[in-house]
Chain A
Amino acid sequence: MNGTIQAPTLEYAQLAPMLVVFGAAIVGVLVEAFAPRYLRSAIHVPITLLSLAGAFALTIWQVVKGVPTKPAAMGAVAVDGPSLFIWGTILVLAFVSVLLINDEDHFVAAAAAVPGSAEEEQALHEGAGHTEVYPLALFAVGGMLLFPASNDLLVMFVALEVMSLPLYLLCGLARRRRLLSQEAAVKYFLLGAFSSAFFLYGTALLYGYAGSIDLAKISAALGVVGGQETLLYIGVAMLGVGLLFKIGAAPFQAWKPDVYQGAPTPITALMASGTLVAAFGALLRVFWVALGGLDWNWSPVLWAVAILTMVVGAILAITQTDIKRMLAYSSIAHGGFLLVGVVATGAAAGQNSKALSAILFYLVAYGFTTVGAFAVVTMVRDAGGEAWHLSRWAGLGKRSPLLAGIFAFFLLAFAGIPLTSGFFGKYAVFQAAVAGGATPLVIVGVVASAVAAFFYVRVIVLMFFSDPAADGPSVVLPSRGTAAVVGVAVLATVFLGVFPQPVLHLAQNAAQSLFIR
């Protein structure tokens, strides 16, 4: 025992985007501690936005400098092409979501006050607010960055928790319908903790099988270790449960409608875009890097999950009467379409990179559209807050044609109508799936898309072809932030729908080298 430990080498340049986000979050906590109440919001917003923009710039710089070919931070983090693409996507989506968070009073005045109590009245009267949402959102974004880039299961687990814990909290902070919001937070927390336990158990079993938690070493052990396949299979199944829960794939989708409905709408936007992107990145990394050699075993299961997810998402969405629940089920269905791409692996690297680039493109397209759709939801207000019931949206097209038109456009993009980003996303994924021999899955996907299109079109018909109610909801004049969010989302949806080549090209470049090991 000579007591000397070689100091670890950390590639700070590669980790910089994450470090900037985490650093800004900690600065935000210090602001909470030391800045006077009236100044906090004014300090938080620039810090948050600048750090996200800075992290994005650092990500770009990383790409320009040349994508690293070896894992960073002693093999804990893999900053490779797909990671960088996902980081860029998450950072832009988070930036846009923060504009929404900043927009207006979506958040509770005093979370500790019992809903409906005198204390709450007083806090509302005083105009109190929780500015802690900014550092919490930054922590969540930091976790989202680390989750898809983690190169071993331990880091992935920590990242999963870092990503989820702030979101559990933020879900419970809605200003209106607080009991619903708190219920959503409790449900999300309990189910999330449960799924994390599954993930951890799976990690332990895989460690028992492979003797390592490194994704690359697990992959190397696949053909070598004999006689312990049951450990491997049970471990993979449990790991899959943990990851599929985060995506909201059926049969682990039950939390999604409740949580999306109860959470403050800007947080729903952040979850629907950022978390989904991060979770797909992590799922791809686990199944393609660590378990790539086992695809004979897991791909039938994922086939079933993908079919079930698409069908459940599309069919249950039809029965919804709450706009946010409907969008949640739509998000489930989109998770299913993306899973089609995950299944579409092939023996050849070319096929894999094609499927990967299709998924990456789909994630960008869906992320922007969904943030835009939730931004529109925040603007249609009743006396008691957002007009959540679908019947309240009747005739919106006659009262506010521009907004209704934009929302209709987003819905068409969700449905995958040509000339919207959704079309190219679906096209790319389905094309890759056909090339990968998953044609039956694509047929199910197309049918589910058609079913999904039915309820999107139903909302459009409701908005444009029915008479507005006399006491219908009012459309608030958007703040500059919300207007910017909607504008960016519309532009992105149009741009990706009409001229997808640059982003497709970017995604192809990112996917070319596949994941590093």
Chain B
Amino acid sequence: MGESITFWVLAVVSVIAALGLVFSRRAVYSALMLGVVMFSLAVLYAVQDAPFLAAVQIIVYTGAVMMLFLFVLMLVGVDSSDSLVETIRGQRFWAVLAGLAFAALLGLGIGNAVLSPPKGLAAANRAGNVPSLAELIFTRHVFAFEVTSALLITAALGAMVLAHRERAEPKQTQKDLSRARFVRFGQLGRNPGPLPGPGTYARHNAIDMPALLPDGSVSPLSVNRVVARYEAAEGTLPPEVERILQEEALSERANGHVARPLGEEDGK
């Protein structure tokens, strides 16, 4: 009784979460939906006499794989969304059609199969779930288990090959960086100190709000270029900041400076 209640509750939850995973426009939502699906699966496993699988599902998938997904998403940028331009014309239509047809085939095929009555795990779990699994993994499937190590080594080696770059020049220390900042101050007159945060007279301490000077005007130094660019794209840029950015661009063009892309700082 309890098992079927759990199943029907989790079945609804996990199917909705899976649909949300596919249809959500935001990658983080999709990742969290995936987490829900994985948790539901873990509970289903636990209900069906497979505690080891349930624990592994939570530890490995929800714990490790999901967190990796989230890390990658955060690294790539939460807001980066895929371009939805079709490179092959009509591809999406045919892909959806093929996918639906495949799902229908699977559903009808497996739905119509006369499955033998479930045996349950009682026989397999006679010595306890974990010991029985251990016996299988370390006797019958020991070779597959051992060969998997080759896969892990390859993955680690591959990550090193693709991502690790040996430093060609000595690392810049704090001292070098601050020396460079002051050299720039001497040559170009650029402010060596940190840029101001939201000022004393600001009405917000959010980073998209520029600092105000005592006379109530906006301090151009405190305009965060990355945020400003984002807001310009979203159309929520405060008019005063926009005016400042335009003035700056105009004066830079007048002085013959090459326009730097927004947000690029010298210390990089």
Taking A73-B142, A111-B161, A132-B157 as known contacts, 14 extra A-B pairs with beta carbons closer than 8 A to each other, sorted by chain A number, are: A1-B131, A29-B157, A32-B157, A73-B143, A110-B165, A126-B168, A130-B161, A132-B160, A136-B154, A162-B151, A165-B158, A169-B161, A228-B113, A230-B112
Q: Is B201 an interface residue (CB 8 A)?
A: no
Which residues of B in the span 97-156 have a Cβ within 8 Å of any Cβ on A? 105-106, 109-110, 112-116, 127-128, 131, 134-135, 138-144, 147-148, 150-151, 153-155
Q: Of residues 123 to 181 in A, which have CB atoms within 8 Å of B's CB atoms?
A: 123, 126, 128, 130, 132, 135-136, 139, 142-143, 146, 154-155, 158-159, 161-162, 165-166, 168-169, 172-173
CB-based contact A8/B142 at 8 Å: yes
CB nearest neighbor in B for A167: B154
- Expressed in whole angstroms, the minimum distance between the Cβ of B127 and any Cβ of chain A is 5
Say which residue of A76, A113, A168, A172 sits within 8 Å of B144 (CB atoms): A76
Q: Is A227 engaged at the interface, CB distance under 8 Å to the other chain?
A: yes
Query: Is B127 a contact of A74 with CB atoms below 8 Å?
Result: no
Whether A74 contacts B158 by the Cβ 8 Å rule is: no
Chain B residues with CB under 8 A of A139: 150, 153-154
Centre residue among A76, A110, A146, A168 by max chain B CB count within 10 A? A76
Is the pair A173, B151 in contact by a Cβ cutoff of 8 Å?
no
Chain B minimum-CB-distance residue to A128: B166
The reply to whether A74 and B154 form a contact with Cβ atoms under 8 Å apart is no
Q: Which residues of B contact A227 (CB under 8 A)?
A: 113-116
Task: Give the contacting residue for B151; candidates A2, A7, A158, A172; CB below 8 A.
Answer: A158
Per-position binary interface string of chain A over residues 58-81, scored 1 when its CB falls under 8 Å from any chain B CB and 0 otherwise: 000000000000000111110000
Interface of B with A (CB < 8 Å)? 105-106, 109-110, 112-116, 127-128, 131, 134-135, 138-144, 147-148, 150-151, 153-155, 157-158, 160-166, 168
A22 at the interface (CB under 8 A from B): yes
User: A158 near B140 (CB under 8 angstroms)?
Assistant: no
User: Can you list 7 A-B contacts with CB-CB less than 8 angstroms, sorted by A residue number?
Assistant: A22-B150, A29-B153, A76-B140, A143-B150, A168-B158, A227-B115, A233-B109
A74 to B157, CA, bound (A): 30
A3 close to B (CB within 8 Å): yes
CA gap between A77 and B144 in the complex, in Å = 9
Check B150–A172 contact: CB distance below 8 A: no
The answer, yes or no, to whether A403 is at the interface (CB within 8 Å) is no
Q: Does A26 count as interface, using CB distance less than 8 angstroms?
A: yes
Chain B residue with Cβ nearest A9 = B139
Contacts of A208 in B (CB 8 A): 115
**With contact pairs A26-B153, A166-B154 given, residues A75 and B165 touching in the complex (Cβ less than 8 Å):** no
Output the least CB separation between B68 and chain A (Å): 16
